[in-house]
């Protein structure tokens, strides 16, 4: 992936390597290009990590900067797409080997325009783009729940237990993801390092509200999945009771015959 370098103006304007860190800047680079970014990295404390070492989404405060670590659940395959960001008053620097941050920034450069540009506004739009497809994804998860419920009611339990387990795990990971994003948003909103312009604080309140809605929807889906599990267990119990009832009837019918056969089969002298 080639390094992307932009000036944050009314829109993201590409620029060359000779003015890489002229503020306000937005840079996306691979970890293999760290040497070119050493001017910024030298000013960051040693808590900054390469994307490969990131295990969760969180924000770390440092003098005059924030270190943002991202581990975003992948929709296409198991695992996470990881990248990091250094947010300063002068600009944003992303280290990204996954391609996710690079694709979002490239789309922002094509589509976004601002009346009041700034570092905070650019970061807000980036985070909102991370959540852009989450609501349709929630609708797809809800459709899967409906299909599972219909399968239970139709008495077609094939692979249902495994499918419900996979869906519950997916919802659990998603819930953790939104909790981590909320905590990150709180650090941005608290503005401990005075990084944001006055008007940008309202943006972080909007971001927190958005994440809260998604988290609440995920919790609702988790509750529905638990109810579906209870419905499945009730269906299994009913089927087992029917089987036991049938076995009881067969036993009652066959018991007299067994008794007669056993009686006449005894090896007594007069029988």
The Cα 24–Cα 34 span in angstroms is 20
Q: Which of 175, 148, 174 is nearest to 232 (CA)?
A: 148
Q: What does the pLDDT read at residue 14?
A: 92
Buried b (16+ CB within 10 A) or exposed e, 99-130: ebbbebbeebeeebeeeebbbbbbbbbbbebe
User: Which pLDDT score, from 0 to 100, does residue 16 have?
Assistant: 82
pLDDT of res. 168: 85
| Rounded Cα gap, residues 211 and 179, in angstroms | 8
Question: What's the pLDDT at 47?
Answer: 62
pLDDT of residue 267: 56
Question: How far is the C-alpha of 82 from the C-alpha of 51, rounded, in Å?
Answer: 5
- Supply the pLDDT for residue 258: 67
Write the DSSP symbol of residue 73: E
Token pair 């990971």: residue: 173
* Cα–Cα nearest to 83, from 112, 114, 57: 57
Helix (H/G/I), strand (E/B), else coil: 4: strand
Residue 20, preceding peptide bond in cis (omega within 30° of 0): no
Place of tokens 């002298």: 269
CA distance 149 to 180: 30
User: With contact defined as beta carbons under 8 Å apart, do 111 and 84 qualify?
Assistant: no
Are 87 and 119 in contact by the 8 Å Cβ rule? The answer is yes
Which residues is 67 bridged to in the sheet? 60, 86
Evaluate if pTM is beyond 0.75.
Answer: yes
Report d(CA 49, CA 70) in Å as an integer: 11
Nearest to 80 by CA among 94, 89, 91, 69: 69
Contact 119, 24 (CB under 8 A): yes
| Distance, CA of 1 to CA of 24 (rounded, Å) | 22
The whole-number mean pLDDT for each consecutive block of 10 residues of the chain, a chain of 271 residues, reads 87 86 90 78 67 88 89 83 92 92 94 92 96 91 83 70 81 92 95 86 94 93 78 61 64 67 58 53
C-alpha closest to that of 72 among 119, 106, 104:
104
Copy the structure tokens of residue 203.
């943006």
CA atoms of 230 and 236, how far apart (whole Å): 10
């Amino acid at each position: 992936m080639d390094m992307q370098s932009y000036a944050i103006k009314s829109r993201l304007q590409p620029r060359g390597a000779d003015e890489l860190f002229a503020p306000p800047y937005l840079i996306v680079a691979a970890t293999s290009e760290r040497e070119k970014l050493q001017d910024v990295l030298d000013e960051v404390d040693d808590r900054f990590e390469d994307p490969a070492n990131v295990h969760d989404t969180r924000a770390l405060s440092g003098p005059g900067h924030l270190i943002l670590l991202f581990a975003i659940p992948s929709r296409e395959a198991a695992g996470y797409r990881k990248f990091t960001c250094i947010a300063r008053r002068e600009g944003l620097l992303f280290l990204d080997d996954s391609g996710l941050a690079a694709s979002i920034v490239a789309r922002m450069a094509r589509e976004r325009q601002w009346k009041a540009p700034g570092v905070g506004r650019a970061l807000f739009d980036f985070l909102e783009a991370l959540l852009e497809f989450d609501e349709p994804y929630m609708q797809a998860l809800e459709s899967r729940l409906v299909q599972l419920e219909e399968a239970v009611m139709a008495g077609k339990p094939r692979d249902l237990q495994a499918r419900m387990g996979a869906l519950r795990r997916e919802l659990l990971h998603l819930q953790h993801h939104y909790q981590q994003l909320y905590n990150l948003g709180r650090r941005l909103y608290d503005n401990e390092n005075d990084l944001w312009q006055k008007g940008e604080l309202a943006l972080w309140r909007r971001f927190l509200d958005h994440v809260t809605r998604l988290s609440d929807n995920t919790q609702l889906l988790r509750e529905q999945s638990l109810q579906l599990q209870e419905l499945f267990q009730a269906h299994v119990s009913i089927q087992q009771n029917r089987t036991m009832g049938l076995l009881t009837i067969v036993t009652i019918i066959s018991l007299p015959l067994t008794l007669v056969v056993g009686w006449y089969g005894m090896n007594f002298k007069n029988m």
